[in-house]
Chain A
Amino acid sequence: MFKLIRRNLLRNKRRTILTVLSIAIALILLSFLDLLLAAMSGVNSANANRLVVRHAISLTFSMPAAYEQRLAALEHVEGITIMNWFQGRYIDDRPENFFPRFGTDPDTFPDVFPELALSPGEIDAWRAERTAFIAGRALAEEKGWDIGDVITIEGDIYPVDVELTLRGIFTHTTDEAAERVLYFDWQYVEEALGNPGQINSFYVLLDSPDNMNETIAKAEAMFENSPDQVRAETEAAFFLSFIEMMGNVQFLFSAIGLAVIASIFFITVNTMAMASRERTTEVAVLRTLGFTRSRVLAIVLFESLAVGVLGAAIGLAVMPVVTGAISSVLATQGITFSELRLGERTSALVMGIGVFLGLAAGLVPALQAMNMKIVDGLRRVA
């Protein structure tokens, strides 16, 4: 029986190969979306001891710089620093020249981000010079920067062009994405703008993750009656809300994934129906020879299942290559994910969908073959 299934699969090689490949490509896309979502929600550079305080309305609103002093006075706070998204334009608007650029406070930043490794000499050099900046190793290597190099970032959100000198290159032990960021002294922009004293966000380092909820509640309560109310959240939650600014990404990705699966499902159903219809007489002959209805059902279902599983297997085999290639392309556009690897969960999802597609697509033709009257099947061609 398995010999017959195998031969039937190879009967129209081009059709089988195209169907298997279309399933494989659909599953690659689906699993990539799944990996992307997992990588986004994983945000592994987040520090469990850190919380982020931002404007209650949205990230695009700023808060008075004076909030820093009041937040620093809260119990359990061991350090606090400011963080402003400068954006700007480096060289030109090409995606490969885009990377995150933040204005911060060199005096407090190293204490709040201890995982970013800088030598004491580099920290001192950064603090000593208003126009100094530090960059992650991955970013510096990508741009070919060395200590002492001067770069210019043209302002867009802020009407200030900043000319910066590289004084430190930091590393992160686990998260390459954290190494693709540039930090400079926000005071540079503050002075150029006439000291407006507006801050996007405060990063607060606590003594223990156990005190996170209590501090969040106190921070939000502290500014409850002020014109600029704040929202405090864990760093991981903050990253997620940042992603959500792009819209409901998860919903979007899920919808795309479902649409892909639905379309490939109908294509596979059609293909299996065509393959089955072409063999109506053969099914009738098998039944004449003594094959039972259930055996005929099993033959058609196994054939369809083999197509689905083969597609999933090819998808899984090719997925690491595709993930690597797309990650590289995204990295050149400033989008990096350190955890874009095919895990057991995604593999199981892909194989599960492959099995489902195979069985579901084969069900209708299999039932038709099973319920066909033998004389009708023989009459169709003869």
Chain B
Amino acid sequence: MKETLYVILITILKTALYFGILMLHVAYATYAERKIIGHIQLRLGPMVVGPHGLLQPIADIIKLIFKEDIIPSNVDKKIFTIAPLISLTAALSTFAVIPVSPQWFIADINVGILYVLGILGLGTYGIIFAGWSSNSKYAFLGGLRSVAQMISYEIALAMSIVGVIIMAESFNFIEIVNRQAQYPLGMFLFPQIIGYFVFLVAMLAETNRVPFDLPEAETELVAGYFVEYSGIRFSLFYLAEYLAMFCMSALATICFWGGWTIPPLLVKIFPFLSFVPPVLWFILKVYLHMFLFFWFRGTLPRYRYDQLMAIGWKVLIPLALLNIVLTSLIKYYL
């Protein structure tokens, strides 16, 4: 009994630490997004609060927390208040199984990948319930669009990872990373290049980012499913979206970029690289993917709805299936 309590206490402490680091990352991801898009559009981005606008995210958080939390009169109150919490819980609980380095994880479970895919799908419910309970046309349309989009792209996302699972022969994240370290390049990126492409596109669609941000298309739906939300509940949706982006980046890093390991080939050329701590490598690779998200937002226009569905069902899913067949054939004959 005492040991159980000890384990629970340690897990709570770890979770709190992890949570704090994640929140800081999310806050500064919004800052990075505004800066990067600003520079892409030849602007400076936020510059006023603090040196180079560095305190801007803190100011934003304070503003959002102290704003009035308005609940419109015609909404379904229970569902309306619970919806942002579902989104946030789903996005946060994926991080329970994502390892940052061989020693740094909260839980190391055998079916890590499946767990993350399943829990990420839960985030849809926050959006559906928000859209439905708001009792507003724009929110409702945003919710409908998001369900259709997420169901379609979840299939492609899950299938793109099957190739990695076949190569690693495991659902466990740590096992997958260790298996990649045996290759000279230290990553599944090149043998799984089709899978990575599918994953990258599906990743953008699953997190409702540009060019697939139809559920929150400003020009058509005002803001989509969270039009009626304000104050802290509004920011919970934003938090969930950015957490999902971080989760996707971490998933891409672990499954395709070799996680926290350094490519063995690079270590042979530059031996001093082996002194870099694994956590740093992991974070670097995650930031690369976050930069991709912002880069796409700065450069690509939004797709039309029928184009979105056509890409999902007619291009990505067949490509993912082809990838599975090719990987299994190569695995069987080598």
Do A and B come from the same complex? no
